[in-house]
Structure 1
Amino acid sequence: MRWKFTFEESRQYVTVYTPIETRYVIPEAPSSFQSLEAVMMDMDGSSTDTEKLVLKAMRQMMREVLGNPQFRFAREDFPHIIGDSTTNHVRYLVSTYNLDPAQLDHYIDIYYRRYHQTLYDIRDGKITETLIEPMPGLKEFLTTLKQKGIKIGLVTSSLKKEADIVMPEVFKRMGMDPDYESFYDGVIAADEVGEAFLKPHPNLYVRIAEEKLNVQNKRNCFVVEDSTAGIIAARVAGFAVAAVPHPGTRDHSFELANLGVMKRRLPEILERNLFLAYT
């Protein structure tokens, strides 16, 4: 169990057990807005589709570790290896496939070696297979926010050097300037908070709001997330959340996504008029 929800005196709490046990209150969040100051978006699974890339590297890691070149993941593995930090993904695989827990860091190193090599091959044009794509409707969603003068933040549990390959590729595929950092009002990656405080801890969302976007009122913002860990992080940070399930996270729990679950993902946020009427 990585987290547990409890209720006390009409307040909801979540205790996060990994890697540091911490108990958080889950504050109430608005379900509509009088004005909208900022939208913060998760990268992998919400803004970008890197599932094929992540699973390719994770599968290569397992094949190397098990010495089995035919290894394939079971369907029930997918909710546990998509949508969270790499460490938690590998922890799950160690437990499920009876690997040596003392070798966790070694397994993670193998994953990152495989993952980064694939990223560099994409960057250098050595891979023709499409492993990175924008999520459906991303360009329209981002440009609509810009036109309305709403700040946009990009949040990722990936390393910055990984985002610096993934996001330019995504922007190029949308026909936009690959200098993605000049488009967003704020970008934050795992490097800035450290492995111990990634999602479901709230640190990424707290820091981007306060330090990058200069948010004045959390109740005038919302977050777009596709995973349970990300939704918990955003809600604990005090923000409303719209869930945009990715095929790899469709078995996650979205009960804390107080703005609803967008089965058609980003286009449905526009269709539901979550912000257009208030700006």
Structure 2
Amino acid sequence: MKKKFVNIEEAVQVISQQGFEFAVIQNPEYVYPSLEIHPLAEKILTPPNTLTAVVCDLDGTLATTEELSIYSLEFMVRQISGRYTRESWKGFDPFIDYPNIIGNSTTKHIEYLVSRYSNFINPDCLKKAYFCAAIWTMTTGHDKQRADQVKSNLRNLGCKNILLDKKLNELIAERIFDEDLIQDYFLPKYGNDFETKDITGTVRAATDIFYHRYHEILEGIKDDKGQRLASELLQDNSRHLIEMMPGAGIFLAFIKGWLADATENFIPVLNELMKIKNPQHYQPVNSEIIKVKLDRLAKTFEKKPLRIAVVTSSIYYETDIVLTALFKTISAEIDNWPVAEEKKSFLRAKFSDYTNYFDAVVTADNSSEMRLKPHRDLYSIALHKIGIPKNKFDEVIGLEDSESGIISLRTAGIGRCLAVPFSKTGGQDLSLAAHIFYGGLPELLLNNNMFQDF
């Protein structure tokens, strides 16, 4: 198309030529225009002649990190409202809130929460929590990009003078966070400068409060305190804060062809994991039939391993901690896999470093906060990074757990987009997916054989 500018009638004509279904995507509050319309790739329901690659969401699809994000978002709401206890506020409504705080960018999640709970916001609590978050990030946080954003937000919220404060800069240089100084020194001296003005300002402050807690927890995980933190936050001594979704480790090994000599051993394991993932609709599979199909597919992947890109709306700093912890849990899981010790050693070596496993890791740092899911950008970047041209998109399957993720896949051109929801996204509208696997990755392998039988 040579013409770059069109009137509304011409625009409608151009758009109508792009497809039959479209997604209306709301932009963050500070972005013009307020929404965009994107064509959706047509759903592909037939088996592929060739399967070349997988593009896969991280949080909620491979890893349990969505729970950590939800916890940190709830922490943020409590901090800005002063409703610190369950008695004062019971927490998020799973049916109303979860669809709006899972799957999109952090900005979109926090915009929703600031609007939804605007009547809760206590200006004094917001101010105190913000100063605490900003000073912690600058003095103790390990993500320079986040510290730079905090400094920018301080300027936008009227607090630029604090950045020149001698005491603050000494604390930054010595990497000391002193919470007492916030109440006794920084708030009395600079608190009156703090002004949010509008929803954008409140979202800026709330975002820094969210990241304070989220990064505080991630630092604990990085320092091998994950199990203790899980005990504190989840009241469960048996869990880690970051774990594989059921069957994810087996799935990752399978698509690389590493289980070709042991598929029969994994059928009962996958069967049990599918039951755990979706007990209400669980139906056992016919092991004899599945064995033949899985063997054939496993040998195909042994000859031609699938390329895989993992995609997340998190920044690289967060993703690195999560994937490092995740691959440690896979190594621990391998101890219980039904294979010989020699094979276990081989698999542990393969999963020793996530950077050697994934063909591409795409994070928010590869794009922009305003272009995260449900926009297509992260998946478009992923497809490019693993070398899939547009005429081969039908050889790719996309895996997502949320409505926004499915929209992102289809706007990126992936018609074979499969939903693998978990407990907190099962109630979302996933009808845009080509197929929904409530039994997760185990069901994908067992009942539909990597989409070969669908």
Q: Same fold (TM over 0.5)?
A: yes
Shift of residue 198, structure 1, vs aligned partner: 0.6
Q: Residue 29 of structure 1 contacts residue 219 of structure 1 at CA under 8 Å; is this kept in 2? A: no
1:68-107 correspondence runs (5 A):
68-70=83-85, 71=89, 72-75=91-94, 76-98=96-118, 99=121, 101=199, 102-107=201-206
1:119-130 correspondence runs (5 A):
119-127=218-226, 128=228, 129=230, 130=240
Shift of residue 74, structure 1, vs aligned partner: 2.3
Q: Percent identity?
A: 35
Shift of residue 83, structure 1, vs aligned partner: 2.1
Identify, as 1 or 2, the structure richer in helix: 2
State the SS of the aligned residue for 2:408: helix
Q: Distance in 2 between matches of 1:142 and 1:24?
A: 31
Q: Distance in 2 between matches of 1:142 and 1:41?
A: 11
Paired residue type of 2:254:
T
Unaligned runs of 5+ in 1: 1-6
Which residue in the other structure is 1:256 paired with? 432
Which residue in the other structure is 2:242 paired with? 132
Q: Distance in 2 between matches of 1:24 and 1:73?
A: 31
State the SS of the aligned residue for 1:247: coil
Q: Residue 48 of structure 2 contacts residue 395 of structure 2 at CA under 8 Å; is this kept in 1? A: yes
CA displacement, residues 164-217 of structure 1 (integer Å, 9 cap, x when unaligned): 01111111111143421210011100111101111111011111111x100131
1:212-223 correspondence runs (5 A):
212-216=385-389, 217-223=392-398
Is 1:188 paired with 2:329?
no
Is 1:58 paired with 2:73?
yes
Shift of residue 250, structure 1, vs aligned partner: 1.2
State the SS of the aligned residue for 1:224: strand
Q: Distance in 2 between matches of 1:193 and 1:51?
A: 20
Paired residue type of 1:139:
G
Comparing 107-116 and 67-76, the one that deviates more? 67-76
Q: Residue 41 of structure 1 contacts residue 223 of structure 1 at CA under 8 Å; is this kept in 2? A: yes
Unaligned runs of 5+ in 2: 1-14, 122-197, 231-239, 258-300, 332-347
Which residue in the other structure is 2:145 paired with? none
Paired residue type of 1:244:
V
Which residue in the other structure is 1:4 paired with? none
CA displacement, residues 107-133 of structure 1 (integer Å, 9 cap, x when unaligned): 001001110010001111234112111
Which residue in the other structure is 2:22 paired with? 13
Which residue in the other structure is 1:174 paired with? 330
Shift of residue 93, structure 1, vs aligned partner: 0.7
Q: Distance in 1 between matches of 2:315 and 2:42?
A: 31
Q: Distance in 1 between matches of 2:81 and 2:451?
A: 49
- In structure 2, which of residues 315, 329, 333 is the aligned counterpart of residue 159 of structure 1? 315
Which residue in the other structure is 2:236 paired with? none
Shift of residue 276, structure 1, vs aligned partner: 6.1
Q: Residue 48 of structure 2 contacts residue 452 of structure 2 at CA under 8 Å; is this kept in 1? A: no
State the SS of the aligned residue for 1:223: strand
Which residue in the other structure is 2:419 paired with? 243
Shift of residue 238, structure 1, vs aligned partner: 0.9
Identify, as 1 or 2, the structure richer in strand: 1
State the SS of the aligned residue for 1:174: helix
Q: Distance in 2 between matches of 1:12 and 1:60?
A: 38
Is 1:43 paired with 2:62?
no
- Find the structure with the greater CA-based Rg: 2
Is 1:203 paired with 2:380?
no
Shift of residue 24, structure 1, vs aligned partner: 1.0
Q: Distance in 2 between matches of 1:215 and 1:142?
A: 19
Q: Distance in 2 between matches of 1:118 and 1:88?
A: 22
Q: Residue 311 of structure 2 contacts residue 379 of structure 2 at CA under 8 Å; is this kept in 1? A: yes
State the SS of the aligned residue for 1:133: coil
What is the total number of aligned residue pairs between the two structures?
A: 269
Paired residue type of 1:58:
L
Comparing 70-79 and 34-43, the one that deviates more? 70-79
Q: Residue 52 of structure 1 contacts residue 132 of structure 1 at CA under 8 Å; is this kept in 2? A: no
Q: Distance in 2 between matches of 1:274 and 1:12?
A: 26
Q: Residue 43 of structure 2 contacts residue 433 of structure 2 at CA under 8 Å; is this kept in 1? A: no
Aligned-pair Cα RMSD in Å: 1.8
Q: Residue 426 of structure 2 contacts residue 438 of structure 2 at CA under 8 Å; is this kept in 1? A: no
What TM-score, normalized by structure 2, do the two folds share? 0.57
Is 1:30 paired with 2:44?
yes
Shift of residue 145, structure 1, vs aligned partner: 0.6
Shift of residue 64, structure 1, vs aligned partner: 1.0
Q: Distance in 2 between matches of 1:184 and 1:247?
A: 26
Q: Distance in 2 between matches of 1:225 and 1:203?
A: 15
Is 1:232 paired with 2:407?
yes
What TM-score, normalized by structure 1, do the two folds share? 0.91
1:144-155 correspondence runs (5 A):
144-147=254-257, 148=301, 149-155=305-311
Paired residue type of 1:250:
G
